[in-house]
Amino acid sequence: MSDFTHFDEAGNARMVDVGGKAETERSATARGAVYCSPDTIAMIRSGGVKKGDVLSVARLAGIMGAKRTPDLIPLCHPLALTSVKVDLAVDPERNAVDIEATCRLTGRTGVEMEALTAVSVAALTVYDMVKAVDRSMTIGDVRLVHKVGGKSGEFRGE
């Protein structure tokens, strides 16, 4: 049908069989941002959000999101992640909360979707925690910035 791996010859969706692939160390890093009003950024920085510490809660949510990726994204393999790191930083010059997630494992398939899911869930958590004071927020720039391991080798993007 095509070069897409998640479709069989008849065009039906399928989970890719990775049973014959060698286990290798794999890592993926994704980034994204939540853009807020200057007042919201100040509130996040000062710890003045009624729901609690926005960055800490979003970090935990991102980690949980990475671990639940196969429950959220059809055809993703359940993976035994060995590490999930989620970092959030406030950039007042851009009125942004920047998010970066790195996932690692030794396995037969990559962890790009887990890293992207971690960033997305962390961003949604930031939004949820401050939406009462800023409904004009936007989530954007979610992308894979680095991937290593497996047959396709290394990818670097920005």
Q: Tell me how crowded residue 111 is: count the other CB atoms within 10 A of its CB.
A: 30
- Length reported for the chain: 158
Q: What is the pLDDT of residue 71?
A: 96
Q: What is the pTM of this model?
A: 0.91
Chain centroid to CA 92: 22
How confident is the prediction along the chain (158 residues), in pLDDT tens digits per residue? Answer: 457 777 777 777 777 777 777 789 999 999 999 999 999 999 999 988 888 899 999 999 999 999 999 999 998 999 999 999 999 999 999 999 999 999 999 998 889 999 999 999 999 999 999 999 999 999 999 999 999 998 888 999 97
| Cβ-contact 146, 157 below 8 angstroms | yes
Q: What is the pLDDT of residue 1?
A: 41
Mind telling me the catalytic residues?
128
Side chain identity, residue 91: D
